[in-house]
């Protein structure tokens, strides 16, 4: 059970002794209170291990007017039917977005608005339970398929990020249903059902965008390995000193993100950042490193981050990472997409090797693809 009496002293904030970062990180982790526990304790100053170096935080700000650079794709006409003319237009829009910025939003995607609202509300409800309840799930390494954690890279990062996370393995196979917190169990099971069919639809469109048959990515089990993370970004008293989620690129094939109205998600473009505006009823889709590799860089994964939340209202987002279900199969650039004029840009690997490499490092840009580059 978590202790709730010392989340501030656990970080070293009130000690007269020399600051011991490793000790502060360990005590914060073992307290199991998460970032929300620190906020609830009334702190006004960030514990030092959340503070990024001065040279890293000069651009921790919103970029007004940049939102228009993230394409929005309307899926109406292909969800209800399969008009070849309409589908060709959508494939072209998705191919353009996936091969440039690596991010796009989808509207009229077929998932009811009520499902979106209930999913966000249930994840928020989980994070706002008493610490003693959440602490029962607090662990590093989701051996049961369900865990609550703050900062997956807490011990390896240069600075911690201001967020807590509920992780649920959705497939294969789904985590033991009884282990999923009751406060969000039904909603997350419904969310998984919706994402399963939406993921198949998106994989088909992306396959066609590469000039492949519609079933190509499905045959590679790219929609079968699904992991959900429900992020909670509470108010940050010093948002200019840290981030909600550090700069990174997702390792898998594709990510489907449901975000609330607060905002804060940014995508790197050139030397700057683009705000991803929250659109009512929309879902954010981004290309992962694995899809960049198998497409031999026809599609681009993009670095992104989340700013620390300066709003008194918490920010909640729910992401599902779509990965291959066949972890021991060998992956690399598809033969259909390589030639003498366009040779493979990456070596082959198993998914286990790929993901093990990702989780051994901190979230730090796109070093994962660079590691497998020929």
pTM over 0.85: yes
- Per-residue pLDDT at 85: 86
Tokens 């904030």 sit on residue: 13
Give the integer Cα–Cα distance in Å for 140 and 109: 34
Residues ≥6 apart with Cβ < 8 Å to 335: none
Distances (CA, A) of 135 to 6, 33, 150: 15, 7, 11
Residues ≥6 apart with Cβ < 8 Å to 26: none
- Domain 9-372 carries which CATH code? 2.60.120.330
Residue 3 has which token pair?
């202790």
Tokens 């599609």 sit on residue: 299
- Per-residue pLDDT at 367: 66
- Per-residue pLDDT at 263: 92
What is the pLDDT tens value at each position of the chain, 374 positions in all?
A: 334 434 444 334 444 578 899 999 999 999 999 999 999 999 999 999 999 999 989 899 988 777 778 999 999 989 877 678 899 999 999 999 999 999 999 999 999 999 999 999 999 999 999 999 999 999 987 678 999 999 999 998 899 999 999 999 998 878 888 999 999 999 999 999 999 999 999 999 999 999 999 999 999 999 999 999 999 999 999 999 999 999 999 999 999 999 999 999 999 988 789 999 999 999 999 999 999 999 999 999 999 999 999 999 999 999 999 999 887 889 999 999 999 999 999 999 998 888 888 777 555 555 688 889 99
Give the integer Cα–Cα distance in Å for 68 and 77: 23
Residues ≥6 apart with Cβ < 8 Å to 268: 247, 274, 302, 303, 304, 305
- Per-residue pLDDT at 16: 59
- Per-residue pLDDT at 323: 93
Give the integer Cα–Cα distance in Å for 125 and 130: 10
């Amino acid at each position: 059970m978590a202790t709730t009496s010392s989340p501030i002293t656990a970080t070293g904030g009130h000690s007269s002794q020399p600051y011991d970062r490793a000790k502060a990180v360990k005590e914060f982790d073992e307290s199991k209170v998460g970032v929300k526990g620190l906020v609830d304790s009334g702190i006004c100053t960030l514990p030092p291990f959340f503070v990024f170096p001065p040279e890293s935080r000069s651009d921790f700000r919103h970029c007004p007017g940049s939102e228009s650079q993230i394409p929005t794709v309307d899926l109406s006409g292909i969800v209800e039917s399969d008009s070849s003319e309409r589908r060709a237009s959508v494939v072209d829009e998705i191919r353009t977005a996936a091969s440039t910025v690596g991010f796009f939003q989808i509207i009229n995607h077929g998932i009811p608005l009520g499902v979106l609202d209930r999913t966000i509300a249930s994840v928020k409800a989980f994070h706002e339970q008493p610490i003693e309840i959440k602490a029962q799930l607090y662990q590093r390494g989701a051996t049961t398929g369900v865990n609550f954690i703050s900062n997956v890279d807490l011990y390896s990062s240069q600075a911690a990020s201001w967020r807590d996370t509920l992780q649920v393995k959705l497939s294969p196979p789904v985590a033991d249903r009884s282990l999923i917190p009751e406060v969000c169990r039904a909603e997350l099971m419904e969310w998984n059902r919706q994402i399963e069919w939406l993921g198949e639809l998106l994989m088909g469109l992306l396959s066609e965008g590469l000039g492949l048959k519609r079933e190509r990515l499905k045959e590679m089990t790219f929609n079968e390995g699904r992991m959900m993370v429900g992020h909670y970004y509470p108010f940050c008293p010093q948002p200019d000193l840290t981030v909600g989620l550090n700069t990174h690129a997702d390792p898998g094939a594709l990510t489907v993100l449901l975000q609330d109205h607060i905002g804060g998600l940014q995508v790197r473009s050139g030397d700057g950042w683009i705000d991803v505006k929250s659109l009512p009823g929309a879902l954010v889709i981004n290309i992962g490193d694995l899809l960049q590799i198998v497409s031999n860089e026809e599609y681009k994964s993009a670095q992104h981050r989340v700013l620390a939340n300066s709003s008194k209202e918490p920010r909640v987002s729910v992401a599902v990472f779509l990965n291959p279900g066949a972890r021991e199969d060998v992956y690399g650039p598809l033969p259909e997409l390589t030639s003498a004029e366009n040779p493979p840009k990456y070596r082959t690997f198993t998914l286990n090797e790929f993901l093990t490499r990702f989780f051994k490092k901190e979230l730090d840009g796109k070093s994962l693809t660079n590691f497998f580059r020929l």
